[in-house]
Structure 1
């Protein structure tokens, strides 16, 4: 009798792939094993529920990060995973994949798939060494590049910009439920949200936030009359922006124009994030300024409230002044990095059984 042809262990590969990042740890995907060599991934478009998922683009970024993570895990096990098709089915993006034997060397990035995480607290302001910057930039696919803001003055300008951005986030009524539902209180690890201990606030700040977030009416009252945005903006935005090795803007070869472009950007982002983890460099996304910029430049209002919309228009102008309008058309992600100890609290992931479809 002839031996059966080898096939990938999809369960082992998906156990690793599920560690890919997603907005607020939502994990908007489900896996279906079609056959020994084929898999589909259904990705739920969260743009109707999540203010920050402009036109589903944040979901597509996350899908790209997931696909890159799966490919890295597969190559480490002797397989290559190719995309057969990407198409929409109602509110889902369905990606069909096929596994083929891989005889090349695995990418070393697979070793940090599980340990990669988000760090939201202040980091060392020490600038990156030339060699570390080169290693980070070399992780990107051809055509992608990083625009750095590392000097004290540049970090101060980014801190002011993120302070303004936080004011929009915290005073937009439509964002309240997104923030409320994203936090799990009283834990250091969360399988489907962000643990409060990982937010970057001290105990007093967390206590005040938890009390305020019982209702939008309470949040709005504190914002209007008691400076309710000041403490979270200080601890979550201003100080981390000042204390880091540098801010970066991830630029794509051409402006992202379709689902495949945003997925490719997510693949590039995940490679950058994993390379940072391999270097021991901490990483925090700051994606919402790009989101607000896109809302404003497209003329699509994200809120019925006048003040946050007016502030978003000002923020969009600041971004264009800081980076240039042509650069912002190529911007697919923004964040900060720096040297520091790994976070003691973090998001984990749902069990694979909850992510599998029959």
Structure 2
């Protein structure tokens, strides 16, 4: 439904996924709701430097659970009760008050979980120049997860050919890429995941050397020793908790750990302790946490590496696409029980 006296004053319906209130523990679908009564004018307010965009794809990411809690850190803002949740997505510019963007441009970056968003902070919004790949890729392999995998592996881990690499949550949006980067470099790669289907994907689709289902391993220390009899050079950390403890006992001297995420801890009211940190001293292990935004400046370099690999079929990417904004809450919550296979994306609208 639309009203108004012309294109610049056009008002349209704007479905939104609204955050109810702060949560503790695991998020539930009922912690958000779909508002179908919203409207928005398809015009940037006079004097604004922002953009009015039509959202096409929205990215479901584990960190979003943290944004449902009242206080998480001094560097991240929680969702606001009564307002749309937000995250990374792909969008098309409907109207622009910014000279860097024009109507019709395709962009990726932070946006609202709604059909249309007014984006006032365009500092980290990136224009999509390469459209010979699926647009949804900019929610994954060519977006935040891709740059995370690239910067964490190449910049934090400083990998070398022939090294032994372990990746937890390896079939997820980031892990599947890290494994493929490592294989292209000539490393030995093992990943862990939470189902037989995901283990099979790691070995058959993503060409990991080995993979195992951590849920079927009563002793993670022994499992890692089995797959890494000579120890681990690089651990790409997505899980935390007991997995990190087991890895610390299996690291090689001068090993590196890139701390990307700790999904096992996000929904705990009392966080688990890590007991084997002393082994970092014994083996001179370097462990560094990072976020992808530390490496925005490397995005062009990242594209130069990954786009030819995609075109040549040397890197493959698996997506799990939920259709319609109304499917968003279930898709997001499903991340925390491992329902998704590959990168979880919500299709809001076709271009």
Using structure 2 for the length normalisation, give the TM-score. 0.35
TM-score, length-scaled by structure 1: 0.34
Higher helix content, 1 or 2:
1
Q: Which has the higher strand share?
A: 2
